Structure 1
Amino acid sequence: MRTLKTRRVTAVSDTPAPVPDQTLSARLAADLDAADLRSEPLRRLWGEEADDALARGMREPILRATAGDQGVLATLGRLFVLGMPQPTASVSAALPRLGLDGLVALGLARQEGDVAVPTALLRPQSFVDAEGMGEWWIASDLDETALDGALPPDHVLGVGGASRTLAEIVMPVEVDRALDLGTGCGIQALLVSRHAGAVVATDISARALAYAELNAQLNGVSNIEFRLGSMFEPVAGEAFDLIISNPPFVITPRVEGVPEYEYRDGGLVGDALVEQFVRAAPRFLTVGGAAQLLGNWESRGGQAELARRAGLDRLSSWVPDDLDLWVVQREELTPLGYAELWIRDGGTTPRDAAFTPLLTAWLDDFAQRGVTGVGFGYILIRRPSAAAPLRRLERVTQPVSNVGGALRAGLAAHDLLASGLPTTLVTASDVTEARHLLPGSDDPSIIELRQGGGFARTVSVDPALAAFVGACDGELTVMQIAAALSDLFEVPFPALWADLEPRIRALVIDGFLAPAASA
């Protein structure tokens, strides 16, 4: 078996990695709790507009809002959330249990005279899952705003857009063992720990693992084991019920002068890292176990539509036919759009002299492989226990919500349909119907079923299928409804059922219809 490796980069950060310590972390957590360093109190302190501005990289509004405020929350907000030096006296007063010495010992600050200089960010991060609402404290490296410049290659990212996306798509299922591969700051491991007996969190970066372990300590989570290593090497010979990963999937030119960031670059050419992950993951799944990840995949050559399809087909070819595969492509960028996105992500803008050489390197790299577009989305692989494998490759560009719940329900529906349609169906509570009529016409030219949650799908249906869905109230059986429609539309039952049955199955998979409670 070819060994799966990602690149190793020599650390170049000016600040040391944190030093997890259970006792000191508990003291810091107690101080943060006493100070009420939470999202809502901070938002009230400096105002919604200033809070929203920080998300766009502007800290000046917060500084103006807290100018002259030497209170505990304002001090810790500037120190930890903005990453700005604060007077040692104020920091010591704000952390009475830990003290400035303890903060330095954890590797989260250093003392320069009468000033405490933060060496990391520590921000509250709220979440919502099946068990309710909660909030973590998440430490990570100083960002571009705090550094006032580009990120170092060994940067450990905090909770960003990709982290939130992965958290939303992970299926909310109770499992015995879970694996978070490429844990970074550890946010996914923390979230999964709420519905897993044990979690293994791995990363190639010792710096990232230090942050992840510290974050587990800060939040009182004890069922996570941290292991250093590349890809699946740290878990050789083991199997998991759930594997999640936000791998370093960004496609980056392998040429001199292009920065390689550990948190996003896997060190391989093109989309090879995603390919290796997808090919390897099934060997580490239990029967019924699933792997979920975010990824990029290239579309190469040909006309635009054929090339886009080829990208999904390339991905599908990496997964054996006896496994479930559900791919949801959320967007596709041109080579130019993709290059600009990730060059800017590293802190380089078109005003910088380095921008054009980097752009040239990216475009040349894509041209060598004939890349016409780069898809981004969600990949779910499952080792089925009984049902025939599900193979679903689709593009979903509309806003979505509760994707993890929708994926779980879709797999459950697929398994259920393996033994035939349920006797009785009900229409999901979030489904509505829209009819479009030409002026003066009594009959609709278009009938659509619209889904309010999950993938928010819109499906065009004909009058017969619309009538079927409208009659699914849990009282009449599927066959009773179909027989009545056969009479109503004056169509022989065998012909009507042959037409309706596969489309009813699709609506069950998509969550428009569900088995009645008594079915």
Structure 2
Amino acid sequence: MNDLLGRLRGLLLDTGYTIDGVRERLGDVAATALSREETVPALRATAEGDPLATLIRLWWLGVPVEARRVPTALPVEELAAAGLVAVEDGRVTSAVHLQPWDAADAADAGGYVVSDRKVRPGDPALRPDHVVGAGGASANLAQLASRRPVGRALDLGTGCGVQVLHLAGRAEEITATDVNPRALELARISWALSGITGVDARLGSLFDPVEDDRFDLVVSNPPFVISPAGRFTYRESGFHADDFCRDLVRRAPRHLAPGGTCHLLANWLHVDGEDWRDRVGGWLTGTGCDGWVVQRDVQDPAEYVELWLRDAAEQGTARHRELYDDWLGWFEAANVTGIGFGWITLKDSGSLDPVVRVEEYGGPVELPVGGHVDEVLGAIATAHRLSDAELLGSRLVVAEGVLEERIGPPGAEDPARIVLRQSGGLRRRAVVGTVEAALAGACDGDYPLDPLLAAIAELTGEDHDDLRAKAPAALRPLIAEGFFHISTG
């Protein structure tokens, strides 16, 4: 099998079946339509039947191709024996979805992800152990994970194996787990086609397969979908409500090595009369880890149900109305007003005073988030742990890329609002007062904060003691959000 997959990889690369090759061959219109699951433009763009067009039709679009058009180097009979294609009446049909994947950490020139065929309206119902391909959530998690080189990494719930492609360039050892045997089978094919070897694949739920192990980095795109019944292994755990994500968060710290980090995607409920921040923050309380939770999106129950019925191509089917109604009724009985989606990061900082930040932030960010996630966690911890006296004695530096915006009527002497804006990183915005704005212009690490406040008081006529008393509360959020950092030079 490894020899077969090695030859197939070589053919894919030689033919140009890569992210760049497919994009160029399809053109912008067809490629963009595919992102909406519309295949007609791509079928038109590949109608000529050249080798690359044939591979796109076979592996990505999932349509039968005439055997005579298949590249002669493609080992059709061996692939059929391995269950990857079927041959009938002079036509070859793929049994799986094989897509190139843009992973800079994949070996050599290209990464590939193998999953079950994409389901589209009118297709047969999904099998319970369906293995979904890589998509937006996979890319989100890969962008979130820390870029630090690590010794041991764990991909919990590997699915088609896509996160391993991103871990391969920076982890010395990789373990991947899944509760679905078929997922591990297809993941191994993904890794082989991507030139990745040595992955320790284990079968089991949650952390059961790695009960005695600790890791420097844990990533997970788990089955977080909240539904009344666990019908599909790839998206639903069978746990009640959002208990699966809660348990995942609570169990993760015991599998982190000192200084280790866990990144995962999750859904959580918004329940009438309850603050979602308290709900999710409560998952992290008592873990002993620093934590950062970011809610990126919220959907009302109807939107959420429609999303996941579309995901399984169940819109328009005979059971659509029944499934929709039962799901909404289940949410209504639990007083659910919305479902949040976002990131959760845990870090074993070794502190006896762990800090957890829970926030809502849906704005655009500089990718990859993992390129500065360690700085974010450090800033949150620093803002929390500095005493008022330590903060007043510290030398602040305005972060690189922070810009100031003054907003007000034309010709006005004083602005109605002053905004600090980050041009990189999380690209946050913060409305500040004149004192914080003055500090942003003056803080270069040369002087402690207290003398700067004294100078501002002298220039503005404000009371120095009053500024000293108010400064820590005003500056902590700006330090936690990365507008200022503490100079160590």
Q: What TM-score comes out, normalization by structure 2 length?
A: 0.92
Task: Tell me, yes or no, if structure 1 residue 448 matches structure 2 residue 419.
Answer: yes
Partner in structure 2 of residue 343 of structure 1:
309
Distance (whole Å) between structure 2 residues aligned to residue 324 and residue 44 of structure 1 = 44
Q: 1:413 aligns with which of 356, 367, 379?
A: 379
Task: Tell me, yes or no, if structure 1 residue 228 matches structure 2 residue 207.
Answer: no
Question: Shift of the alpha carbon at 1:451?
Answer: 1.6
- Tell me which amino acid in the other structure corresponds to 1:181: L
Partner in structure 1 of residue 294 of structure 2:
328
Distance (whole Å) between structure 1 residues aligned to residue 72 and residue 451 of structure 2 = 73
Partner in structure 2 of residue 513 of structure 1:
484
Task: Tell me, yes or no, if structure 1 residue 52 matches structure 2 residue 35.
Answer: no
User: Where in structure 2 are the equivalents of 1:180-195 lying within 5 Å?
Assistant: 180-195=155-170
Partner in structure 2 of residue 466 of structure 1:
437
Distance (whole Å) between structure 2 residues aligned to residue 77 and residue 479 of structure 1 = 64
Partner in structure 1 of residue 102 of structure 2:
126
SS, match of residue 144 in structure 1: coil
- Tell me which amino acid in the other structure corresponds to 1:54: L
- Tell me which amino acid in the other structure corresponds to 1:49: V
Question: Structure 2: which 5+ runs fail to align?
Answer: none
Distance (whole Å) between structure 1 residues aligned to residue 108 and residue 267 of structure 2 = 31
Contact 2:46 2:53 in 1 (8 A): yes
Q: 1:143 aligns with which of 108, 118, 123?
A: 118
Question: Shift of the alpha carbon at 1:147?
Answer: 7.5
Contact 1:92 1:100 in 2 (8 A): no
Contact 2:223 2:237 in 1 (8 A): yes
Distance (whole Å) between structure 2 residues aligned to residue 197 and residue 413 of structure 1 = 28
Partner in structure 1 of residue 249 of structure 2:
278
User: Where in structure 2 are the equivalents of 1:39-118 lying within 5 Å?
Assistant: 39-67=19-47, 69-95=48-74, 99-118=75-94
Show CA shifts across 1:247-287 (max 9, x none). Answer: 10101113xxxx71111010112111111111211121122
Contact 1:83 1:146 in 2 (8 A): no
CA RMSD of aligned residues (A): 2.4
Structure 1 395/326 Cα, relative in aligned 2: closer, same or farther at 3 Å? Answer: same
Distance (whole Å) between structure 1 residues aligned to residue 19 and residue 215 of structure 2 = 34
- Tell me which amino acid in the other structure corresponds to 2:334: R
Question: Shift of the alpha carbon at 1:156?
Answer: 0.9
Q: What TM-score comes out, normalization by structure 1 length?
A: 0.87
Question: Structure 1: which 5+ runs fail to align?
Answer: 1-20
Q: 2:283 aligns with which of 303, 318, 324?
A: 318
Distance (whole Å) between structure 1 residues aligned to residue 109 and residue 463 of structure 2 = 56
Contact 1:76 1:94 in 2 (8 A): no
Partner in structure 1 of residue 470 of structure 2:
499
- Tell me which amino acid in the other structure corresponds to 2:358: L
Distance (whole Å) between structure 1 residues aligned to residue 262 and residue 252 of structure 2 = 7
Contact 1:24 1:106 in 2 (8 A): no
Contact 1:125 1:138 in 2 (8 A): yes
- Tell me which amino acid in the other structure corresponds to 1:39: I
Structure 1 436/504 Cα, relative in aligned 2: closer, same or farther at 3 Å? Answer: same
Contact 1:35 1:94 in 2 (8 A): no
Percent identity reads: 38
Distance (whole Å) between structure 2 residues aligned to residue 333 and residue 65 of structure 1 = 36
Task: Tell me, yes or no, if structure 1 residue 38 matches structure 2 residue 4.
Answer: no
Partner in structure 1 of residue 3 of structure 2:
23
Structure 1 146/125 Cα, relative in aligned 2: closer, same or farther at 3 Å? Answer: farther
Distance (whole Å) between structure 2 residues aligned to residue 133 and residue 464 of structure 1 = 53
Distance (whole Å) between structure 1 residues aligned to residue 107 and residue 2 of structure 2 = 27
SS, match of residue 200 in structure 1: strand
Question: Shift of the alpha carbon at 1:474?
Answer: 4.5
- Tell me which amino acid in the other structure corresponds to 2:220: S
- Tell me which amino acid in the other structure corresponds to 1:383: D
Question: Shift of the alpha carbon at 1:497?
Answer: 2.6
